[in-house]
Chain A
């Protein structure tokens, strides 16, 4: 018994303490509780990994028991779980430490760390869950924490709107997830992963494919919501309203990867439903390409990285969709390193500039904030796929898998890799090279912020040598394919991107704006994210809201329901006003009524007495 429950319980305790008592605690105590709980959780994870990195199912109590249908509160761990646990607690710990510095001036300090711990609790539950329902609890919980943290500065309307948007769009995905869970429950009679996947073998191929495909597609819908894929990615760029540590932890390293994890976990289902798996790969590829194009033109440094996240998530889906589950998870790990670093570094830049986020107002910062500069360069080369750094290894595996699945996918992915390199280095060059174009006084961040940057930089550079695919091999068999030609092509694409960025933003600074003007409406469209938000707003949001108002509210609620309820009241009043005329005030009328009553009573008595 590895006592897996301790891992999520620690951050939960941190949440409760900081949430309930945090206002009255000194900062040191809040830090101690928040960081301490995550540290202890991380250490426990290390202990579990040391013991083999796996644990049989631990059943804590029966949650639902209806006849034969049982859902228990169960945790289980295998190597996939262990990888996720390490990423979540490890990277999470670094980000917690960073946040101490970043949020130092903020009034809601205790609340921030409480929410952060709450998120950790839910994410860990999601990862450790042994059945669909418990995973869904974590799934929803991270959505909630995301909402709370995006809208952390709730006095800003833009922040609360972004939080709402994130939650609502997520909900659409969750709807798909819920349907999938129901489908599984009905068809398998259980929601346990082990039982469901175990019984897949005994299903005849013809009858099962339809159901499994449907389940796979519904799960994909859920993953698209949580992991910001087409068509539900629109919340992620807006989520940048939240503090940068939030962007780093939730919207880069952990929560958004939940969708990928879920697909990997349900690999047995997808392997039996090739059409659904193909959809996964297509959605991933399309999202990767599409988001990369948008990232080329953005001016807010965090938005660039947000679209980059969407794009890289697309890569992960491409990986798992083409059958390379191990590669997809491997990219998840390396992405956690360099994307978290990119965001934290961006946060350091923003912090050093007193809040400036526009790339056009930066420049020449590499001498002024050197630590941030060098760590960000590490992240950039990693994400661009330059060997021998981490991003190269994971991306290359995915590209190879894509090629052997369908060669055209490889070429699209390679083009995306070129764009990735371009936009990342564009951001680097705009921010750190050239002349400083802003008004603030740039200063380096405190050690508590730069130390995690350095740690993540080391991981971004050397993380490729972590034996992740090999460790996952028992779960996801790896076809050892090495094609040097493909590797060379993808590296060349990345280097070409870097070179192009150099030309545009360092060698010939005016060239970028000139090209933008020449491209005219194309540039505008990309800058405005292809107007997707506006399309959604007019095509979906406005009809729903107006429809609700006009139909459901005014027609149904007011005219039908209110009318009938009020109608009853009016009817009663009408009846009353008629009956009131009996109270004429005339004594003799009353006497007559009494007489009538008496006569009727007497008649009744007489008849009842049998007198005829």
Chain B
């Protein structure tokens, strides 16, 4: 059994997860689910960073991952608060209902 995995596979995994996240964002109607797809995309990117950190044998990639996580946390907090407000006002989480920016 080979003891090593080509780096490309990690990146490929990242790509697949990212694509899945985009698909979730495009095709789901529930606001919260769309938000979770965003989190999935962020995770994919994190994986990418860490892989490259290994590639160049530097810790900077991981630092970036750290910051991404912090930002994701802040974003989750605020975003969910917004979603709650939207729900309070419109009693729906259907994304197509919040289309008041139409035209």
- A and B in direct contact, judged by CB atoms within 8 A: yes
Which residue numbers of A lie inside 8 Å of B, CB to CB? 580-581, 583-588, 591-592, 595
Most buried by B among A583, A585, A592: A585
B98 interfacial contact with A, CB 8 Å: yes
Q: Which of A585, A592, A595 contacts B101 (CB 8 A)?
A: A585
Contact B102 A591 (CB under 8 A): no
Q: Closest B-chain residue to A587, C-beta based?
A: B95
A-B contact pairs, 9 of them (CB 8 A): A584-B99, A585-B100, A586-B102, A587-B34, A588-B25, A588-B26, A588-B27, A588-B95, A591-B22
The interface bits of chain B over 58-94 (1 if a CB of A lies within 8 angstroms of the residue's CB, else 0) are 0000000000000000000000000000000000000
Nearest-neighbour CB distance to chain B for A335, whole angstroms, equals 82
Contacting residue for B99 out of A580, A586, A595, CB 8 A: A586
**How many Å from the CB of A598 to the closest CB on chain B?**
9
Contact, CB under 8 Å: B101 / A583: yes
* B3: Cβ under 8 A from any A Cβ: no
Q: How large is the interface on B (under 10, 10 to 19, 20 to 34, 35 or more residues)?
A: 10 to 19
- A-side contacts of B26, CB under 8 Å: 588, 591-592, 595
Which of the residues A583, A588, A592, A595 comes within 8 Å of B102, measured between beta carbons?
A: A583
Q: How far is the CB of B95 from chain A (nearest CB, A)?
A: 6
Please tell me if B103 contacts chain A, counting CB pairs below 8 Å. yes
Q: How far is the CA of A17 from the CA of B34 in the complex (A)?
A: 85
Which chain B positions have C-beta within 8 A of A588? 25-27, 34, 95-96
Complex alpha-carbon distance, A232 and B95, angstroms? 83
CB of B76, distance to nearest CB on chain A (Å): 18
Which 7 pairs, one residue from A and one from B, show the smallest C-beta to C-beta distance?
Answer: A585-B102, A585-B99, A585-B101, A586-B99, A591-B25, A587-B95, A583-B103
| Across-interface contacts of B101 in A (CB, < 8 A) | 583, 585
Q: How many A-B residue pairs have CB under 8 A?
A: 33
Q: How far is the CB of B42 from chain A (nearest CB, A)?
A: 15
In the complex, A581→B103 CA distance in Å?
Answer: 6
Give the shortest distance, in Å, between B90 (CB) and chain A (any CB).
14
CB proximity of B75 to chain A, nearest CB, Å? 16
Chain A residues with CB below 8 A from B27, complex form = 588
CA distance A588 to B22 in the complex (A): 10
User: Nearest residue in B to A592 (C-beta to C-beta)?
Assistant: B26
* B73 CB to nearest A CB, Å: 22
Residues of A within 8 A of B103 (CB): 580-581, 583-585
Q: How far, in whole Å, are A588 and B25 apart by their CA atoms in the complex?
A: 7
B25 adjacent to A586 (CB under 8 Å) = no
Which of chain B's residues has its CB closest to A598's CB?
B22
How distant is the Cα of A595 from the Cα of B37 in the complex, in angstroms? 14
Q: CA separation between A583 and B101, bound complex, in Å?
A: 7
> CA separation between A335 and B44, bound complex, in Å?
109
- Measured CB to CB, the closest approach of chain A to B66, in angstroms, equals 25
Complex CA distance for A584 and B100, rounded to whole angstroms: 9
Per the 8 Å Cβ criterion, residues 8-24 of B in contact with A are 22
Assembly CA distance A583 to B99 (angstroms)? 10
Which B residue sits closest to A588, measured CB to CB?
Answer: B26
* Across-interface contacts of A585 in B (CB, < 8 A): 99-103
Whether the Cβ atoms of A586 and B100 lie closer than 8 Å is: no
Q: A584 to chain B: which residues have CB within 8 Å?
A: 99, 102-103
> 16 additional contacts, CB 8 Å, given A580-B103, A585-B103, A587-B95?
A583-B101, A583-B102, A584-B102, A585-B100, A585-B102, A586-B95, A586-B96, A587-B34, A587-B98, A587-B99, A588-B26, A588-B27, A591-B22, A591-B26, A595-B22, A595-B26
The distance in angstroms between the C-alpha atoms of A586 and B22, with both chains bound, is 16
- What residues of B have a CB within 8 angstroms of the CB of A595 in the complex? 22, 26
Contact partners of B34 in chain A: CB under 8 A: 587-588
Collect the chain B residues with CB atoms within 8 Å of residue A587's CB: 34, 95, 98-99
Compute how far the CA of A586 lies from the CA of B98 in the bound complex, rounded to whole angstroms. 8
Interface string of B27-53 (1 = CB under 8 A from A): 100000010000000000000000000
Note all chain A residues with C-beta closer than 8 A to B102.
Answer: 583-586
